[in-house]
Each structure stands twice: as structure tokens, then as C-alpha cells.
């Protein structure tokens, strides 16, 4: 199946260069405009046989956020001298975030405002259906750190995590009756959250991945539209090959995976080596016993 390419966020530095050229062109008129950002939700891909034509971006008024920490414009993406953490790349949320930023079949999905979204085990649906997503179990621990403060842990932040099921379908969209594989957790004093989930499938045109958004507080997460970072995790190649060898559980993933590469992926392909290394979780375990995975998320506060 064909999947649309993702536009990659070029960052604040690029925005400022564009603004500077605009000011120079209009100097005679003494024109000046404040900086603003518009988030464009790009296509992310779906499971085999899924169409993306019903997913559209909607212009929804942004609520006024509470005064909570936001990333610094002066943050660097260089390694820390102590632990080597880097600033995570900002990535597209894709067409299936269910965070209130887009619509599917004319309806806006915002699972962040739904009762029950704060949970550690995200394998079962919790809106209407109670169906549990099946596949190889993964216990994923994420550690959120401040790259501007020697990789100090960030407590009290909320992380919203979502991904496709073993067949490449996303709940609330291409698996419209389900709400599984979505959840929010709040970082503890070590900056950590843990999710129990399954290993996502590989669909055509994308490297296997997990989506996440970081919010500066649980209140902001549950209010929706306050994310300070939207990014993705790249699943390690060796683990993908091992998991997808079970074609009974992951029927199309092995063939799809054989046609993709991290270096040419339209999300991860333009990241630095250090960013992709950090954004690829470390896995231990087996498909039968399940996996434990860990990853660091670098944020500039």
C-alpha cells in the first residue's frame, strides 16, 4: 500500500531565518509580526488494506495553556558530557493521534479527554469495547530527562503513548471500534513511566515505530492540545526480525519489514545518528517470555 511521506519539523532556527527574510522585504513598510507555529498533521500509514482518505486535519482553536515549563529555544541537540543524552527530534503525530488535532470520517477523536486514558497497561480497549490487542508482550519504561540540566530526570510530566496493533491497524481509526494501545502515564521522581503493551506490527512504507507526546503536566495532557514534544520511537532491527518471524501472529510484518530501511524512513531518515540511537529502545527477552524495553527521552526545559 502507498503511504504519504511525512513532512519533518525543520525547527525554530529555520522559522527564524524565514521571518528575518520577510522582515527585510518589508522594511520600507516597517512591518513586524510575532512568531507563531502551525502544526501540520502528516500521513503516517495504516495496516494492510486500510485507506487514509477519511483522515483530515481540522483547525481547532487552541486553549490557553497553564503556566508550565516549555522547551527552551536555546536548547542544543549535542550530547551531554555526563550521560550522553540528546534532544529528541520532533516528529509527525501522523494521521491517527486521537489527541483532538484531526478528524476521521468527519468526527474528531480526542481520547485524552476520555475517562480511563490514564493507565499503564494499554493492551485492552476501554471505550465501549473491552477487546485486548494480541501480540508479543512488551513492558516499556521511558525516562524523561532535561538535556539542559545534565540529563536530570523530569518528574510530574505526562506522556501519551500510542501505536498500531500487530496487523498495522490504529484504534479509533482503521480499527474504529477499538481504543486499545493508547494510554497516559505521569513521570515519577526518576522521570520514568512504564507501559505494558504489545510489539507493534510493521505496515507498508514505514519503519516499525511507537508514537508519543510529552506534556508538562497531567492536567495539560487531559485537557488536550498542550504537547511540548511530539516524537516517535524506532524499534530495533534485530528484535523486529525475531518477532516478525512468527507470521501466524504478525501475518504481513515480515514482508513489509523487508522493504523498509531506517536510513530512508521519511520520519527517522533525517535524524542524527545520536538521535536515532537514543530514540531506539533497548530490548531484552524473547517473543515467548515477552520483552522489557527502555528508552530515554531528551527534552529541553
Residue 220 lies in a domain: yes
Indicate if the pLDDT at residue 211 is higher than 70. yes
What pairs with residue 290 in β-bridges?
286
State mean pLDDT over 187-215: 98
2, part of any domain: no
| Overall domain count for the chain | 1
- Which of 107-111, 193-197, 216-220 comes out lowest in average pLDDT? 107-111
pLDDT tens digits for range 251-279: 999 999 999 999 999 999 999 999 999 99
In a domain, 253, yes or no: yes
User: pLDDT tier at 83 (50, 70, 90 boundaries)?
Assistant: low
Q: What is the pLDDT of residue 33?
A: 32
User: Residue 75 is placed in which grid cell?
Assistant: 536548547
* Residue 294 or residue 2, greater confidence: 294
Strand extents, DSSP E, the chain = 55-57, 99-104, 107-110, 137-146, 152-153, 158-162, 182-186, 192-198, 209-215, 229-234, 282-286, 290-299
Does residue 292 lie in a domain region? yes
Whether 5 is in a domain gets the answer: no
Residue 31: pLDDT over 90: no
Residue 3 has pLDDT above 80, yes or no: no
Q: For residue 240, how many other CB atoms are within 10 A of its CB?
A: 23
User: By 3-state DSSP, what share of the chain in percent is helix, strand and coil, each rounded to 5?
Assistant: 15, 25, 60
pLDDT at res. 29: 31
- Which helix H or strand E contains 14, and what residues bound it? helix 11-25
Query: What is the total residue count of the chain?
Result: 301
- Kindly tell me if the per-residue pLDDT of 115 is higher than 50: yes
Reported as a single tens digit per residue, the pLDDT across 147-179 is 999 999 999 999 999 999 999 999 999 999 999
Question: Does residue 278 form part of some domain?
Answer: yes
List the domain range (segments joined by +) for residue 228.
11-299
Domain assignment present for residue 3? The answer is: no
Quick one: average pLDDT of 22-33?
A: 34
Average pLDDT rounded to a whole number, residues 277-297: 98
Would you say residue 79 lies in a domain? yes
CATH number at residue 265: 2.60.130.10
Q: Which residue, among 292, 115, 297, has the nearest Cα to 196 in the 3D structure? A: 292
- Give the mean pLDDT of the chain: 80
Amino acid at each position: 500500500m502507498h503511504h504519504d511521506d511525512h513532512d519533518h519539523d525543520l525547527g525554530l532556527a529555520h522559522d527564524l531565518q524565514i521571518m528575518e527574510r520577510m522582515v527585510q522585504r518589508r522594511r520600507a513598510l516597517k512591518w513586524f509580526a510575532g512568531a507563531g507555529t502551525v502544526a501540520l498533521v502528516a500521513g503516517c500509514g495504516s495496516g494492510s488494506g486500510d485507506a487514509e482518505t477519511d483522515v483530515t486535519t481540522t483547525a481547532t482553536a487552541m486553549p490557553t495553556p497553564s503556566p508550565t515549563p516549555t522547551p527552551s529555544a536555546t536548547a542544543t541537540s549535542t550530547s551531554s558530557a555526563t550521560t550522553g543524552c540528546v534532544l529528541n527530534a520532533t516528529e509527525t503525530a501522523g494521521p491517527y493521534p486521537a489527541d483532538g488535532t484531526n478528524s476521521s470520517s468527519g468526527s474528531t477523536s480526542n481520547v485524552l479527554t476520555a475517562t480511563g486514558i490514564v493507565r499503564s497497561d494499554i493492551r485492552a480497549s476501554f471505550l465501549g469495547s473491552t477487546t485486548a490487542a494480541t501480540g508479543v508482550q512488551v513492558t516499556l519504561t521511558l525516562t524523561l530527562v532535561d538535556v539542559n540540566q545534565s540529563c536530570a530526570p523530569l518528574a510530574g510530566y505526562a506522556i501519551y503513548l500510542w501505536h498500531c496493533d500487530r496487523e498495522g491497524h490504529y484504534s479509533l481509526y482503521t480499527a474504529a471500534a477499538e481504543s486499545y494501545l493508547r494510554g497516559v502515564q505521569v513521570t515519577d521522581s526518576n522521570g520514568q513511566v512504564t507501559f505494558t503493551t504489545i510489539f507493534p506490527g510493521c505496515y507498508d512504507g514505514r519503519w516499525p515505530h511507537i508514537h508519543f507526546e510529552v506534556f508538562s503536566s497531567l492536567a495539560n495532557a487531559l485537557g488536550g492540545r498542550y504537547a511540548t514534544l511530539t516524537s516517535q520511537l524506532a524499534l530495533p532491527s534485530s528484535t523486529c526480525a525475531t518477532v516478525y518471524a512468527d507470521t501466524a501472529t504478525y501475518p504481513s510484518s515480515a514482508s513489509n519489514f523487508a522493504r523498509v530501511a531506517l536510513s530512508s524512513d521519511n520520519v527517522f531518515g533525517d535524524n542524527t545518528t545520536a538521535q536515532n540511537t537514543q530514540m531506539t529502545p533497548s530490548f531484552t527477552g524473547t517473543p515467548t517470555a515477552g520483552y522489557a524495553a527502555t528508552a530515554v527521552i531528551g527534552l529541553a526545559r
